[in-house]
A and B are shown apart, each in its own frame.
Chain A
Amino acid sequence: MSVVTGPIIGAGELKRLSPRFWLARQTELAIFWGPVFIATLVVALLVHVSTADLLPVVVALIAGVAWLVERGRYRAWGYAEREDDLIVTRGLMFRHVSVVPYGRMQFIDVTAGPIDRALGLATVQLHTAAAATDARIPGLIRPDADALRDRLALVGEAKATGL
């Protein structure tokens, strides 16, 4: 991770996501994999075929890998508010680092799904005139998200440049 971002910004400057975001992702994993695991367990207990006994084990293994990947992705997220631009890093397999100047922001979205809302989280997304810009910061604590949005809107206005 730091191999990629290190020279762009110091590792210490990078802000990480709230641990609650990790909780939210784990909840999502549990909501999906929990019922699947239970279903395969029931099948394994009812059907007396030796291969059926393997099913819950396989599901548990896959869920474990998904958990590891999700944790890696959670740890890969990071953002830094610099003087003139915002840096967002993300991705475990496909690593991305986006540099978005404040002056280029067109608008800012704050969104929250049901799980995020229950945990008091929100996603802040920056939009520029370029459709390819993908500066999204998920898993911010709601007041932090609102504060970030207001800060960004303020500097965005101060540094705004035309197309």
Chain B
Amino acid sequence: MSMLPPPDSGAMPLGVGETWRRLHPLSPIVRFGRVVIGVLVIAVPSIAEQPALHRDDGFPVSAAIYAGILILGGLGGFVSWLVTRWRIADGNLQIETGFIRRQSLRIPLARIQAVDVISPLSGRLLGLAEVRVVSAGRGAEHGRLAYLTAAQAPVVRARLLALAHGLEVSTPEPVALPLLHVQNGLLLPALLMRSQVLAPVLIAIAAVAAIAAAPVLGAGALGSAGTVLVVSALGVARAFNEDFDFAISEAGDGVRLDRGLLQRRHETIPYGRIQAVRVVEPLFWRAFGWARLEVDVARQSVSRESDRDAQQVARTLIPIASRDQALWLLARVLPDAHPNPPPDAGPPSRARWKAPLSFHFLAAWFGQRYVYARTGRVQRSTIIVPLVKVQSVRLKSGPLQRAFRIATVDVDTAGRRWQASARCRDDSEAVEMVRHISERARLSRRVPPPLPAAPAAVPAAG
């Protein structure tokens, strides 16, 4: 079931000498394939519509221009491929690229956060795959090897991981043990059951019912609900495409994720690099006892639009599972983590005035190894931060909060997506939390936590 190829030691398609090598010669075709399709989409209708301008020999001028663009683009891609080379040497992944502006990258393997193998649809057709190295501080944009052959990519990944763990280069990737597999038949209903989809559907139904009574108002509501529904449907389609055939397996060094319909992704998340885990339970999922798990891995802020892929560093650990399965999986990646709040984890009742909506599920507590913070009324989400990963602890209290004698405690990690935010704590308790969390974080940095134990039986779904 695991999508990983068997770690073969013989006949490695990669030399051990670690000399400079080029990417696959077909790389430019895959990389610029989308551009070509884009140009064609614009070009073909415009050529068909404007047959007025022709050269003497009858060849349309606009077609010549588009052909010129494509040839230049193709040439550029070829040159880019020609001047790009990479190797693994001295504990670094080294990439040299650029024709006019030479760029030489050294990515220290000890700092690697994760290594992914990504096969886009066009790459799969040509038997190519991309190896993407996510390192702290620069996102995924820079450490890209696009593309290698589908056989090479896992070998390169195994090497990068071996070096990242300080092992011999030729150490094969540890054998992955399948943990959970998401049924595609469950994924789609689960995605449709999210409140982003159900809320506009309910509004649309209400609007249809209301049209008889108040035609203008009903029609308006129907229209806006329809618009929202289209956007949500696109979101569902994308999520379905991304999380299709989702399988999570576990190797000695971390978890492996295999997912995707058109574009297959094989991701690794080393245990030590998990900054925070979030248990998400949307409103309608709670009726079925479903939950979703997400992890946050260290990264720097990403501002550029082109780094959209890098922003996905907060990853889905499991898109849909029964709550029992989700908690079991949580305990696999963060041993002894129990996201069920103790009875005294809630805020003082006077905080109801400050946070009337979120008060119901608001809770924060901490144990020997983790800080937990639960929030959300419609979508209940519990963030679990290992104390070892705490970067700083902050206490905040605004004028309104002081009026209610409450304060907020923020626990920051190197992950960018979330921080554990203990809102609306009694102010003296907040001070105690800051003191204890920073003290326990200090102690846990001294004693590294043990690696997770051997996997136990997977609980049954439902």
Contacts and interface: CB of A to CB of B under 8 A. Distances in A.
B320 interface: no
A128 B392 contact: yes
Contact of B442 (A6, A85, A94): A85
Contact of A129 (B298, B395, B399, B431): B298
A132 B394 contact: yes
A132 B435 CA distance: 19
Interface string A76-106: 0000000011000000011111111101100
B438 A101 contact: yes
A84 to B, nearest CB: 5
B428 interface: yes
Interface residues of B, number: 38
Nearest to B398: A94
Interface stretch (B57-65, B280-288, B376-384, B406-414): B406-414
A45 to B, nearest CB: 39
B445 interface: yes
B431 A163 contact: no
Nearest to B427: A4
B406 to A, nearest CB: 12
Given A130-B413, A163-B273, A163-B414, A4 B395 contact: yes
Interface residues of A, number: 30
Interface in A132-156: 132-135
Give the interface centre of A3, A4, A104, A163 by most chain B CB atoms within 10 Å.
A163
B354 to A, nearest CB: 14
Given A7-B428, A131-B416, A163 B392 contact: no
B392 A130 contact: yes
Give the interface centre of A4, A93, A94, A100 by most chain B CB atoms within 10 Å.
A4
B428 A128 contact: no
B435 A8 contact: yes
Interface string A50-92: 0000000000000000000000000000000000110000000
Given A4-B427, A7-B431, A98 B445 contact: no
Nearest to B410: A132
Contact of A134 (B394, B398, B431): B394
B171 interface: no
A161 interface: yes
A52 to B, nearest CB: 34
A79 to B, nearest CB: 14
A162 B415 CA distance: 13
Contacts of B273: 163
Given A101-B445, A163-B136, A130 B407 contact: no
B412 to A, nearest CB: 4
B419 A99 contact: no
A72 to B, nearest CB: 12
Contact of B391 (A5, A6, A95, A104): A104
B449 to A, nearest CB: 13
A132 B414 contact: no
B238 interface: no
A161 to B, nearest CB: 5
Contacts of B391: 100-101, 104, 128-130, 133
Interface string B367-404: 00000000000000000000001111111111100100
A135 B434 contact: no
A97 B298 contact: no
A161 B445 contact: yes
B412 A128 contact: yes
B438 A97 contact: no
Contacts of B414: 128-130, 163
B160 interface: no
Nearest to A89: B395
A150 B419 CA distance: 30
Nearest to A135: B392
Nearest to A162: B272
Interface in B420-462: 427-428, 431-432, 434-435, 438, 441-442, 445
Given A98-B394, A101-B445, A132 B434 contact: no
B224 interface: no
B258 to A, nearest CB: 25
21 contacts: A4-B431, A7-B431, A84-B442, A85-B438, A94-B397, A96-B394, A96-B395, A98-B393, A98-B394, A100-B392, A101-B391, A104-B391, A104-B392, A129-B413, A130-B413, A130-B415, A130-B419, A132-B412, A133-B394, A163-B113, A163-B136
State the 6 A-B residue pairs at the shortest beta-carbon distance, nearest first: A129-B414, A130-B412, A130-B391, A97-B395, A133-B392, A128-B391
Given A128-B391, A133-B391, A134-B394, 15 more contacts: A7-B431, A85-B442, A93-B398, A95-B398, A96-B394, A96-B395, A98-B392, A98-B394, A104-B392, A128-B414, A129-B414, A130-B391, A130-B413, A133-B392, A135-B392
